[in-house]
Every structure is written in structure tokens, then in C-alpha cells.
């Protein structure tokens, strides 16, 4: 029997968390499920553990790559997969019970959907839930209030996710035929290839959202060197899609630029460069006024004055 869904798990040195991710798949209450684990050059014993797991479960396929990157690993796995739907699950994340069941039901009820995603809870190193993915998104908080149903089709979906990348890869369920038709993840877009793919899909199909947090991930501390590379990648994606998105909703383009400027400001505060942070926060405020951005400007001014005082001592 053809699998209803193929679960794609890229793994690189995630052996401590991989068993929890796998266990969460068995809690989905779906009989015809396929699991494809791609080990991308692990050195922590993951491959041996994965091979042992395959001997216990005939619906698990193990693939081996040699450090080719997450995007390539996912694309390779999808080409091997045979499910009608594709679900992504990172090796350091896990799903709550019946996550897939709810998404499959939603997509069957709404055949115009090519992709849907759920909310996701962020967990600290004490296993405490700190917040969810929608907490700081004004757009999705408004959508949740406006829609009484637990799941809804997002109005102007491409513009909504261009405005702010709110989709966690491990919350996504997508039709495999659509994924393949659009060539999957672009490995040339480093660090934000997922956002690029969601936008590519959203320009071709409707997007669905489930309000509930049905996945969880361990919140990691931002690594400063990678952060600036990530922001440069975000700029690349904005340039790629902003002309098309502007025809759908010009406000979404201003919002995307505002979020980018705000992210740069946050980075500059982290590296003790408040003057640059101030310039970015002013730009963000001009692009999309918000009270938090005004507060950020006051913080930047205070830090700039403090650093100027230290410099004259």
C-alpha cells in the first residue's frame, strides 16, 4: 500500500535527540507511514543507531550522505519517498500526538491547499515552554482572533509569509507532487532555504494554518557569526520575491523590510554597536511603525550615550 505520508528527517550529529523525534512519529496514529532518515556525515554514532533502527522497522529507509547540507539531504529524501504527502521533522525537534492526523484531515477537507503548517512551542534547556512561534507575530495573532476554526486558509498566503517568516520546517505538511514540480529546496540559499521554498509554493497554491502548537523545538542560543550570514540570506530572498509580492500586497513588502532592519538592529545591540542599531531601528520604524520599535530606539539612544560617556573617561 502506498504510504499516505513520508516523514523526512535530516540528521547530523543529533543522536541525543533523534530517538525522541522518532518516538513522536509513532504517536501520530497513522498506519501507512514512511520514514526516511538522511544521515549527512555524522561522527557521533548516529549512523550505527539508525541502521539498528531500520532492522526493527520495515517502514524506515536510511540514506547516507557526506556533509552535503540539509537542503540537499531533504531533496534527496523526497525523491526517494513514495508518500502522497511529505512531512519534515528535524532530528532535534519532535511532534505532539496526532499532529499529522490533524493536518492530513485539514488538507483533505480543503483540496485547494498544497501546504499547511502548525504553531510550534519553544522549549528552554529546563524543558519549560517559553512561548510559541505565533507569540511575536501581530499578523498571526490577528488571524487567530479572526478565525473561530482551529484551522484556516490564510488570506493572501504568499504575502503573509513574506511579511514575516513564521513557518517552522518541522510543522509543515506538503503535497509531494507540488514539491517535486517546484524543485524543492534551493541549496544556493543558505540558512533560509526553507523560507524561500514556502514562498515559491505559496505563489502557486493556497496555504493552510493550524492554530495549535503541534510541534516543539529546543530554543538555541543565536550564534553571532551565523546570524549575520542568515540576515544576508534573508535579504537575498526578499530581493527574489518582493516584486511579485508587491502586486499582491505592498504592505507585506514594507513589513518584510521592517523586520529585516529590526533584526539587524538586534544583532548590532548584541555586538555592542548601538549607533548602527539606532540607524536600523529608525529605518524599521519608518517602514512599519510599532511601539516596540520606538522603545528599541530609546534603548539604542541610552546605550549610545553610555558608550560615549565611557569613551570620554
- Mean of the per-residue pLDDT values of the chain: 92
pLDDT digits (tens, 9 = 90+) for 223-259: 567 889 999 999 999 999 999 999 999 999 999 999 9
pLDDT digits (tens, 9 = 90+) for 46-56: 999 999 999 99
pTM, two decimals, is 0.92
**Which residue, among 222, 249, 233, 154, has the nearest Cα to 193 in the 3D structure?**
233
Are 17 and 91 in contact, with CB atoms under 8 Å apart? yes
> Taking residues 72-83, what's their average pLDDT?
97
Q: Return the pLDDT at 282.
A: 97
Residue 123 burial class via C-beta count within 10 angstroms: exposed 0-12, middle 13-18, buried 19 and up? middle
pLDDT digits (tens, 9 = 90+) for 187-232: 888 889 999 999 999 999 999 999 999 999 876 655 567 889 999 9
Is a pLDDT exceeding 90 seen at residue 25? yes
Q: Return the pLDDT at 223.
A: 57
214 forms beta bridges with none
| Percent of the residues in the chain that have a pLDDT greater than 70, as a whole number | 96
Distance in angstroms (rounded) separating the CA atoms of residues 8 and 87: 6
Residue 27: pLDDT band (50, 70, 90) is: very high
Q: Return the pLDDT at 220.
A: 65
Among 66-75, 120-129, 163-172, 201-210, the least confident range: 120-129
Amino acid at each position: 500500500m502506498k504510504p499516505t505520508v513520508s516523514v523526512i528527517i535530516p540528521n547530523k550529529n543529533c543522536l541525543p535527540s533523534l530517538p525522541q523525534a522518532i518516538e513522536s512519529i509513532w504517536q501520530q496514529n497513522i498506519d501507512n507511514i514512511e520514514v526516511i532518515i538522511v544521515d549527512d556525515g555524522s561522527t557521533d554514532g548516529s549512523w550505527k543507531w539508525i541502521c539498528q533502527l531500520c532492522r526493527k522497522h520495515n517502514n524506515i529507509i536510511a540514506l547516507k550522505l557526506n556533509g552535503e547540507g540539509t537542503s540537499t539531504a531533504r531533496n534527496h529524501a523526497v525523491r526517494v519517498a513514495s508518500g502522497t504527502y511529505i512531512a519534515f521533522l528535524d532530528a532535534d525537534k519532535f511532534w505532539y500526538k496526532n499532529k499529522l492526523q490533524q493536518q492530513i484531515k485539514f488538507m483533505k477537507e480543503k483540496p485547494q491547499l498544497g501546504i499547511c503548517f502548525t504553531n510550534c512551542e519553544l522549549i528552554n534547556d529546563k524543558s519549560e515552554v517559553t512561548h510559541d512561534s505565533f507569540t511575536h507575530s501581530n499578523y498571526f495573532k490577528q488571524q487567530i482572533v479572526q478565525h473561530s476554526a482551529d484551522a484556516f486558509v490564510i488570506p493572501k498566503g504568499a504575502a503573509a509569509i513574506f511579511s514575516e517568516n513564521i513557518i517552522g520546517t518541522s510543522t509543515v505538511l506538503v503535497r509531494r507532487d507540488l514539491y517535486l514540480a517546484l524543485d524543492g529546496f534551493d541549496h544556493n540559499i543558505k540558512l533560509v532555504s526553507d523560507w524561500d521554498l514556502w514562498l515559491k509554493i505559496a505563489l502557486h497554491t493556497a496555504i493552510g494554518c493550524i492554530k495549535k502548537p503541534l510541534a516543539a523545538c529546543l530554543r538555541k542560543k543565536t550564534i553571532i557569526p551565523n546570524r549575520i550570514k542568515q540576515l544576508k540570506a534573508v535579504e537575498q530572498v526578499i530581493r527574489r520575491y518582493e516584486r511579485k509580492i508587491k502586486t499582491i500586497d505592498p504592505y507585506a513588502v514594507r513589513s518584510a523590510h521592517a523586520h529585516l532592519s529590526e533584526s539587524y538592529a538586534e544583532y548590532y545591540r548584541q555586538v555592542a554597536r548601538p549607533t548602527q542599531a539606532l540607524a536600523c531601528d529608525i529605518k524599521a520604524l519608518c517602514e512599519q511603525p510599532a511601539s516596540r520599535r520606538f522603545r528599541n530606539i530609546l534603548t539604542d539612544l541610552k546605550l549610545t550615550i553610555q558608550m560615549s560617556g565611557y569613551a570620554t573617561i
